[in-house]
């Protein structure tokens, strides 16, 4: 069934109760179907991109040590020169009963339909505790849990892309969160996930074929749940100056399989995150904010390839950060600068190091205009220095015009 058919069916199911019963069931009717219709929102993102480098359709571009050739092609957003229909997002939210709320978010594209998030949260857990269960964006760091239409820029920071992939750290599992009964905000949380994120983690088994002699051997997979996350978040106010900070830690099984299945990484990864946001409120609309996250990834395990069934000892130590400065100069206008840097890229194979680039970076500037809370027009410029082709750095620039529109119930964006 085509994607459009799925979408039409969903909308029809949601609208039918309103059309059929909305006029007959007043607020005094306990069986009114309107009481059971969830809050609905729909977001569309469209852009026009000009890039002084050919489309990423070529499979030769890579980010050495981070993303091999093929994984850098066709990013989720703004993938092609010219016009891009980036995504549509359909969200549904409703109270299930006195004990649970249910939230779902679906991504729709020209050739895909996927469940981005679908989870329940508890309403009446005692002593400041809350439980989330289902498929959802992890609360690792500050950026990861935000949906694309709330980002200050049009794409993921580089460090999130290379450590968690285009979809971020989005997993199946549960989260237990505790908000401390203190005068200041303090939240502690733990998450247990299946661990299927293929960029830094993964559970799959793999078979490696030696094409020279036809022999093959198997790399054993792992059972879930295979990923554990803990985090702490706090804030402090000093007049109109607000500080938000957090630390995060993720550890899990890693089975990283190359695009052609010719080699496999097997071991465990540990990822550390540190984030801070400083926001100065000028008045009710204007503000200046600085947001920074630093992420460090450590891996210990083995590297398997054809002809090497015993594997080689393999370790990597990689890190990077982004920092973005946002100035909202009026109710309708904002501008921002962002700097991305991957600053550590150390890999050891059987104790010997490999020479890899350690200064992959990107400079970005944007200005956007939001006539209302439901529409945004953004112009963004990127100067990119992170892609390599045949061992040579390919500097390129991008100019992107983004249009983002939403209808329906519209919840508050993260602070």
Check whether residue 147 and residue 11 sit in a common domain.
no
Question: Is residue 152 situated within a structural domain?
Answer: yes
Q: Using one digit for the tens of pLDDT, what is the confidence trace for 44-68?
A: 999 999 998 766 655 578 899 898 7
Q: Looking at the structure, tell me whether residues 142 and 285 fall in a common domain.
A: yes
Same domain assignment for residues 15 and 150:
no
CA–CA dist 304, 325 (Å, integer): 43
What global pTM score does this model have?
0.87
Range of lowest pLDDT (31-35, 49-53, 95-99): 31-35
Q: Is residue 413 part of a domain?
A: no
CATH number at residue 207: 2.40.160.10
Residues 92, 153, single domain; the answer is: yes
When divided into structural domains, the chain yields a total of: 2
Please compute Rg for the chain using Cα positions. Answer: 23
Is 11 in a helix, a strand, or coil?
helix
Residues 52 and 15 in one domain: no
Cβ count within 10 A of residue 306: 17
354 lies in the same domain as 271: yes
pLDDT tens digit sequence for 227-278: 999 999 999 999 999 999 999 999 999 988 776 667 888 899 999 999 999 9
Instruction: Produce one character per residue of 122-140: b if its CB has 16 or more CB atoms within 10 Å, e if not.
Output: eeeeeeeebebebbbbbbb
**pLDDT over 90 percentage in the chain:** 60
Asked if residue 382 belongs to a domain, the reply is: yes
CA count, 13 A, side-chain hemisphere, 121: 14
- The answer to whether residues 236 and 346 belong to one domain is yes
Q: Could you tell me if 22 and 130 lie in one domain?
A: no
Range of the domain at 4: 1-37
Q: What is the full DSSP assignment across 126-192?
A: STTEEEEEEEEE--STTTTTS-GGG-SSSS--HHHHHHH-TT-SEEEEEEEEEE-SSSS-EEEEEEE
Farthest CA pair distance, the chain: 77
Instruction: Tell me, yes or no, whether 24 and 146 share the same domain.
Output: no
């Amino acid at each position: 069934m085509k994607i459009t058919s799925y979408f039409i069916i969903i909308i029809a199911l949601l609208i039918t109760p309103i059309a059929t019963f909305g006029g007959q069931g007043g607020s005094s009717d306990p069986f009114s179907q309107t009481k059971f219709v969830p809050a609905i929102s729909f977001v569309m993102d469209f852009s026009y991109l000009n890039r002084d480098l050919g489309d990423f359709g070529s499979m030769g571009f890579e980010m050495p040590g981070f993303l091999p050739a093929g994984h850098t092609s066709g990013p989720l957003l703004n993938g092609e020169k010219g016009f891009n229909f980036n995504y549509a997002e359909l969200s549904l939210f409703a109270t299930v009963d006195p004990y649970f709320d249910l939230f779902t978010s679906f991504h729709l594209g020209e050739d895909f339909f996927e469940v981005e998030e679908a989870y329940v949260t508890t309403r009446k857990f005692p002593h400041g505790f809350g439980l989330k269960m289902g498929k959802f964006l992890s609360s690792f760091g500050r950026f990861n849990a935000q949906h694309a239409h709330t980002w200050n820029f049009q794409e993921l920071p580089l460090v999130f892309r290379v450590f968690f992939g285009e979809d971020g750290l989005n997993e199946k599992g549960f989260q237990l969160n505790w908000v401390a009964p203190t005068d200041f905000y303090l939240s502690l949380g733990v998450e247990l996930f299946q661990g299927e994120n293929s960029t830094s983690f993964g559970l799959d088994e793999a078979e490696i074929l030696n094409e020279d002699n036809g022999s093959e051997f198997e790399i054993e997979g792992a059972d879930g749940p295979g990923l554990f996350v803990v985090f702490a978040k706090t804030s402090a106010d000093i007049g109109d100056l607000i500080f938000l900070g957090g630390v995060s830690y993720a550890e899990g099984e890693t089975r990283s399989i190359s695009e052609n299945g010719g080699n496999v990484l097997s071991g465990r990864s540990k990822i550390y995150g540190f984030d801070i946001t400083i926001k100065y409120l000028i008045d009710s609309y204007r503000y200046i904010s600085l947001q920074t996250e630093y992420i460090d990834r450590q891996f210990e395990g083995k590297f398997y390839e054809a002809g090497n069934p015993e594997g080689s000892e393999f370790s990597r130590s990689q890190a990077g950060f982004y920092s973005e400065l946002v100035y909202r100069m009026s109710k309708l206008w904002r501008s921002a600068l962002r700097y991305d840097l991957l600053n550590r890229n150390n890999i050891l194979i059987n104790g010997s190091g490999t020479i890899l680039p350690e200064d992959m970076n990107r400079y970005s500037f944007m200005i956007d205009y939001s006539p209302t809370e439901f529409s945004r027009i953004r112009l963004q410029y990127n100067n990119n220095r992170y892609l390599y082709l045949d061992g040579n750095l390919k500097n390129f620039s991008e100019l992107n015009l983004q249009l983002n529109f939403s209808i329906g119930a519209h919840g508050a964006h993260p602070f």
